[in-house]
Amino acid sequence: MTLRILDGKQIADEIKAEVAREVKELIHQGTRPPQLTAVLVGENPASRVYVKNKGHTAEELGIESATIHLPETTPTELLLEEVRRLNRDDEVDGILVQLPLPRIINADQILDEIDVKKDVDGIHPANLGRLVLGQPCLEPCTPAGIIQILERSGIRIAGVRACVLGRSRIVGKPVAAMLLNRHATVTICHSKTPELASVTREADILIAAIGRPGFVTGDMIGPGATVIDVGINEISSQTDLARFFDGEELERRSVVVARKGRTLVGDVEWKSAIAVAGLITPVPGGVGLLTIAMLMKNVLEARKAKGR
């Protein structure tokens, strides 16, 4: 059995090129380009980087972007007002409220307020409900990216066993619904699942979205299974490095750690997983790149749905 290591960049680039082409056509037809407005609250450094990257990618593809940066102390009511203003603004096609929000803000209330048609993160309950029902909607970006990876890699979904590890709002629950609607038999596992390894080993497609570095080890993977690693975690110690990697990859990662002080790993323990899996997505370079590409696709879809 040969192992395939998925190239997330290639698929993300394909999708971005498709989006850029469609945006160009829209503009050529004389309509206004799509517009994405990000709302960033507070000074979380990772959030600032994410928002900046999203803005850059948007502009690369001809999508206009703006960022509204509010102070950490913004009360829920004021943020609600801001969202309502963006809902009313006809020049705004997509609204992205960067998560996590500061603790003093009622996040559910904010997300509920976003116009369903501008909810480019696909995170509003009404979009999730439609997703579950298989109705047209804005799909959450990471789950949509996972489906793109599977479909564009020729992995069969219909009729196979899929196991989703994790039941978060933005990954586990929606990706389970999307796999089910594509006729997989889906099991959703989590921290309270008994005899976890015996459950995950039965999966033809295993989605690891539990947010714990190296949680999925080789003995939890069925021979030849497709393993989609959604986790993004940092490790830095030599012990962790040696647990995750060996050979050339260990050398390469050690250099990264020496230079940057850390390296990114997923929820899957690379070394033991690649000995069993049939296809695996790397971290970095896997699912993460798709998430941003699918966000751009959603902004385009939101623009097109307006139809003028």
**Residues annotated as catalytic (active site), given as ranges:** 54, 98, 121
Q: Which stretch binds a second copy (CB under 8 A): 10-18, 23-31, 190-198, 215-223?
A: 190-198
Burial 171-205 (b: 16+ CB within 10 A, else e): bbbbbbbbbbbbebebbbbeeeeeebeebbbebbb
- Site mask, a second copy, residues 134-163, x = CB under 8 A? -x----------------------xxxx--
Contacts of a second copy in 100-129 (CB under 8 A): 108, 124-129
Regarding 169 and contact with a second copy (CB under 8 A), the answer is: yes
Regarding 173 and contact with a second copy (CB under 8 A), the answer is: yes
Nearer to a second copy, 183 or 304 (CB): 183
Nearer to a second copy, 80 or 257 (CB): 80
Nearer to a second copy, 183 or 306 (CB): 183
Alpha-carbon torsion (12, 18, 19, 24), positive or negative: positive
Regarding 80 and contact with a second copy (CB under 8 A), the answer is: no
Residues recorded for the chain: 308
* 241, 250 Cβ separation under 8 angstroms: yes
Single out the residue of 44, 185, 217, 254 in contact with a second copy (rule: CB under 8 A).
Answer: 185
Q: Quick one: how far is CA 212 from the chain centroid?
A: 16
> How far apart, in whole angstroms, are the C-alpha atoms of residue 54 and residue 37?
10
Nearer to a second copy, 132 or 257 (CB): 132
Contacts of a second copy in 232-291 (CB under 8 A): none
Single out the residue of 28, 88, 103, 192 in contact with a second copy (rule: CB under 8 A).
Answer: 192
> How far apart, in whole angstroms, are the C-alpha atoms of residue 42 and residue 84?
19
Nearer to a second copy, 189 or 280 (CB): 189
> How far apart, in whole angstroms, are the C-alpha atoms of residue 221 and residue 107?
35
Q: How far is the CB of 120 from a second copy (least distance, A)?
A: 16
- Amino acid at the residue 208: A
> How far apart, in whole angstroms, are the C-alpha atoms of residue 13 and residue 145?
12
**Residue 302, CA distances (Å) to 21, 27, 293 in order:** 16, 15, 14
Single out the residue of 67, 87, 106, 193 in contact with a second copy (rule: CB under 8 A).
Answer: 193
Kindly state the number of chain residues that form the binding site for a second copy, as judged by CB under 8 A. 31
From first CA to last CA, the distance across the chain in angstroms is: 51
Regarding 175 and contact with a second copy (CB under 8 A), the answer is: no
* Closest CA relative to residue 284, chosen from 238, 258, 253: 253
Regarding 133 and contact with a second copy (CB under 8 A), the answer is: yes
- Residues lying near a second copy in the complex (CB under 8 A) are found at 108, 124-130, 132-133, 135, 158-161, 167, 169, 173, 177, 180, 183, 185-190, 192-194, 199
